[in-house]
Structure 1
Amino acid sequence: MGNPIDGFEIDPASLKTIGTDLQRPECILAEPDGSLWSADARGGVVHIRPDGSQTLIAQDTATGFSDATDDASRFTTGTLPNGLAFARNGDILISNFGTDRLELMKRTGESEVLYDTINGKPIGKVNFVLRDSKDRLWLTVSTTIANWMEACSPNIIDGYIAMADENGLRIMADGLHFTNEIRFDENEKFLYAVETCGMKITRFQVAENGDLSGRETFGPENHNAFIDGIAFDAYDNLWGTHVMTDRIFAIKPDGDLRILLDDDQGSAEGKALLSAFAQDKVTPELQLACGGNIANWMASLTFGGADLRQVYIGSLRGTTIPYFTAPVAGLPMIHWNERTKN
């Protein structure tokens, strides 16, 4: 039996979109009923119902809203909901890249701060949150530098992975190069972590108590691109995005990398950014000059739909959510078969 992604490419003309006037739909959660929940830079999430209607649910305790109007400051100041996950009861866990904390929001907006320090120090740029089958919360922190754009450097490697259980929050792995999204395999035997500025995906073995060991690279040692989001399909292919150079890829179980969609096409802007990064001379202007037309600064992939074959593309600079049909279903997220609030 062949791999379903063999020979598969995403036809840009086949893409549909859902959602309007969104702000920074970086991370998207899907539910079996067809609902989508998208992180939103206005401080909360947008609930997009199966019929396409949508509502912004703002956090009632969100602070630090920015009045910035230019892109460079808008991406680095104020509240900035980033990675999302469902708590077991259906509440929404928000890793806030602006307030530097993990927050919990009810579907009606009431919010609280779960964690903003670790080992007595500020937690840093909380990027992503993932819940496992034991109800433990896994967090990624990209950097402890306040302005994350300054951490887009080959020489700043201060990211880490933390885990919260009944004993509190503790660091499980550090020395990561701008930690971004993380995912478990189907049996939670391995944890896969994006090192955005390391341009690679790192894999750890997961012990019963959550300890991580056996650190190794999964797939290419260097994608020559900044990786952002990842998601497994049911065939153990790991899908992902190259942010700023706007590509969708998949890594087969044997480590073979396939580019499924390229919205950059080797642009001069993308090449200039990668050249500057190698010289540790990245500027916001170089970053903001990059990006394609489909979902500007592709950031994440979410499998959804009743058959888990609809793939939704999150982005940092888009205002809608493009989606397409995959040749294989996604690996169900931990919440998929849990009872959640409506």
Structure 2
Amino acid sequence: MTASRVNPLDGFTVDPAAIRTVGEGLQRPECILAERDGSLWCADARGGVVQIGPDGSQRLVTPTVSAGFATLADEATRFVSGTLPNGLAFARNGDILIANFGTDRLEIMTRGGESRVLADTIDGAPIGKVNFVLRDSRDRLWLTISTRMTNWMLAISPNVRDGAIALYENGRLRIVADGFAFTNEIRLDADEQWLYVAETCGRKVTRLRVRPDGDLVDRETFGPDDHGACIDGIAFDAFGNLWGTHIFTDRIFAITPEGELRILLDDDRGSEAGKAFLAAFDRDEVTPELMLACGGAIAPLCASVTFGGPDLRDVYVGSLKASRIACFRSPVPGLPMVHW
């Protein structure tokens, strides 16, 4: 990390007037992948992923065999069994790895829609609520499990810590760390020495040292002990700042290499819905209605940040409620992902 140099985020905040949008008619574009040619791929609640071409063209790719689909609103009213792609990553050959929040499986799909399951159990037991997948330079797959509760909304609590991280290698999925408060997105640093974990209900980022065999050790907090808000997605820039989103209060933040929290965009601005959610969370009385009432105007229920564009300075914001993807320019490029 480059803490000795001037941080390019010094004095930077996102100008809402400079935000543009990409795509249209999307459903729950929670996770976004960017390619060198300008293409974007985003998860979609219709059961697959949407490819948005550099020219703005769109196509929805769904598995050739579908189990139906679920949405956040469906989950809020009743338990729904169906496919709900959440976290995405590219396999080395360009296929799409899918952490399926609906089927609780790690899946892989070709760009033509041929799909198969990589893992649906760990040591013979159900995996749990699969959230996000990350591929490293050794082609190992890191998978987050937010909770073991079937109704995941019961885990939106300050008192539940049954989240885990699993590693998929040589056809086997195994737990390498657990005890997290709703494990969400994860990222590796530039040298793949540390794995950073967004603990949504811990309201903090945790990091663990990666051993050569994939075991995770030396757990510690990176940045503030409590953001005072629930964290969803995270991503590194090339300087070493860790960007992220505060879901339910719709903020984009960065944690500097020194651990300082900076708010780059606040689209909640102390809304009554956001305050009601945070107060209920502190009392351990969150309801689906309180969650769904949240959300600003730019990327409601903002869930992720992805760097893209030819210079990796376009920032795309994933969302649980938007039908388009918000985008703005960053003063610093993102850290290239392994597929870049």
TM range (shorter): over 0.9
* Paired residue secondary structure (2:201): helix
Superposed, which structure 2 residues align to 1:255-270 within 5 Å?
A: 255-270=259-274
Residue of structure 2 in register with 1:340 after alignment: none
Matched residue SS, 1:153? coil
Q: Which aligned runs of 4 or more in structure 1 are off by greater than 6 angstroms?
A: none
Query: 1:149 maps to what in 2?
Result: 153
Where in structure 1 are there 5+ consecutive unaligned residues?
337-342
The 3 A distance-change label for structure 1 pair 90 and 74 is farther
Q: What is residue 298 of structure 1 aligned with on the other side? A: 302
Identity of aligned residues (%): 67
Q: How does 1:78-89 map to 2 (within 5 A)?
A: 78-89=82-93
- Aligned residues: CA RMSD: 1.5
Q: Give the deviation of 1:154 after TM superposition.
A: 1.4
Q: Does 1:237 align with 2:241?
A: yes
User: Number of residue pairs matched?
Assistant: 336
2:288 corresponds in structure 1 to 284
Which residue of the other structure, out of 38, 42, 67, is the alignment partner of 1:38? 42
Superposition deviation, residue 146 in structure 1: 1.4
Aligned residue runs from structure 1 range 131-210, under 5 A: 131-166=135-170, 168-210=172-214
Query: How far apart in 2 are the matches of 1:17 and 1:269?
Result: 24
Could you tell me which of 207, 220, 227 is aligned with 1:216?
Answer: 220
Q: Equivalent residue for 1:25? A: 29
| Structure 2: distance between partners of 1:286 and 1:335 | 38
Structure 2 segments unaligned to the other structure (5+ residues): none
C-alpha distance 70-93 of structure 1, shift in aligned 2 (>3 A):
closer
Letter in 2 for 1:226: C
Structure 1 residues 257 and 155: CA distance shift in structure 2, 3 A = same
1:228 to 218, 225, 232: 232
3-state SS in 1 of match to 2:17: helix
Q: Measure, in 2, the Cα distance between the counterparts of 1:131 and 1:224.
A: 30
Contact 1:25 1:315 in 2 (8 A): yes
Could you tell me which residue of structure 2 aligns to residue 339 of structure 1? none
The Cα of 1:7 is off from its aligned counterpart by 0.3
1:197 aligned counterpart, secondary structure: coil
Distance 2:217 2:71 in 1: 43
Aligned to 1:55, the other structure's residue is in SS state strand
Distance in 1 of aligned mates of 2:284 and 2:14: 33
Amino acid at match of 2:299: A
Per-residue CA deviation, residues 249-297 of structure 1 (Å, 9 max, x unaligned), is 0000000000000000111211111111111110011111111000010
Q: TM-score, normalised by structure 1?
A: 0.96
Structure-2-length-normalised TM-score: 0.96
Aligned to 2:117: 113
- Report how far residue 298 of structure 1 moved: 0.2
